[in-house]
Amino acid sequence: MKKFIPLLVMLFGAFAANAQSDNLVKVFEKDTFDTSKGKIVITFFGHSSLMIEAGRQVIYIDPVSAQADFSTLPKAGMVLITHEHGDHLDKKALALITEPQTITIVSQSCKDLVDKALVFTNGMTETFGNFKIEAVPAYNIVNKRADGIAYHPKGNGNGYVINYGSKRIYIGGDTENIPEMANLKNIDIAFLPMNLPYTMAHQMAADAAKSFMPGILYPYHLGNTDPQLLVDLLKDAKIEVRIRKMK
């Protein structure tokens, strides 16, 4: 019997270590901002998945299961989906965070893909309590598939401007440096995608930022792109570039 005791100890130790590892909660980066209506907290899950908490409300942007365990996170007051691609629209994640009263806003390309969703076309604006949501264009001009069709055709997807108190937050979605960005005004916080061939290269993202001059810029949807190159390109611009784990 004695010869089995060391083996049992080893097996128990391995089991305990695995159980401890499985119970570890992933810690996400968060940034907090003051507004005229109180604080906003932005949580960075990864890639294009974000959470915004403000005024006891929770807004998710493009929640995708690969980025977080949404079963452990707060229920959504609102969800914004930029377009239909699987790294932005994930029905499994939606099922975990939505309730009957959740407001889910989707782009034209998601029509009929999400039950009871509000379809916002480019240019639509609506106010929900203390939040005003603006849908803005997000599309490719240069980058196309082998068949010549843009990865993100004009009119299919949305970017969003979220207004809360004195803050305006721009979520770019999957887009290039499109002319409509010059119409963005008084953007305090911006998220711009930066990964080829689907969205923007470093110089294009820098030019996009300069066209509307946000106070703070987060490059996101990064893939294998090095965001430090964007920092270098904008070092003389009056834009604070913040790097978070958004691959």
Give domain limits for the chain. 27-241
CB 40 within 8 A of CB 33: yes
Q: Tokens at residue 186, please?
A: 């008084």
Question: What CATH number does domain 27-241 carry, 3.60.15.10, 3.40.718.10, 3.30.360.10, 3.40.50.10800?
Answer: 3.60.15.10
- Of 66, 115, 117, the C-alpha closest to 88 is 66
Taking only the tens place, the pLDDT of each residue in 51-105 is 999 999 999 999 999 999 999 999 999 999 999 999 999 999 999 999 999 999 9
Strand order through the sheet with 216-220:
125-128, 131-138, 157-164, 167-171, 189-193, 216-220, 240-241
> Rounded to the nearest 5 degrees, what angle is found at the Cα of 75, between the Cα atoms of 74 and 81?
110
Q: Tokens at residue 185, please?
A: 């005004």
Taking only the tens place, the pLDDT of each residue in 144-202 is 888 888 889 999 999 999 999 999 999 999 999 999 999 999 999 999 999 988 899 99
Gap between the terminal Cα atoms of the chain: 52
Residue that wins the pLDDT comparison between 171 and 3 = 171
What pLDDT, on a 0 to 100 scale, did the predictor assign at position 169? 98
How many whole angstroms from its chain centre is CA 74? 16
Classify burial at 216, counting beta carbons within 10 Å of its beta carbon; exposed 0-12, middle 13-18, buried 19 or more. middle
Q: What is the pTM of this model?
A: 0.89
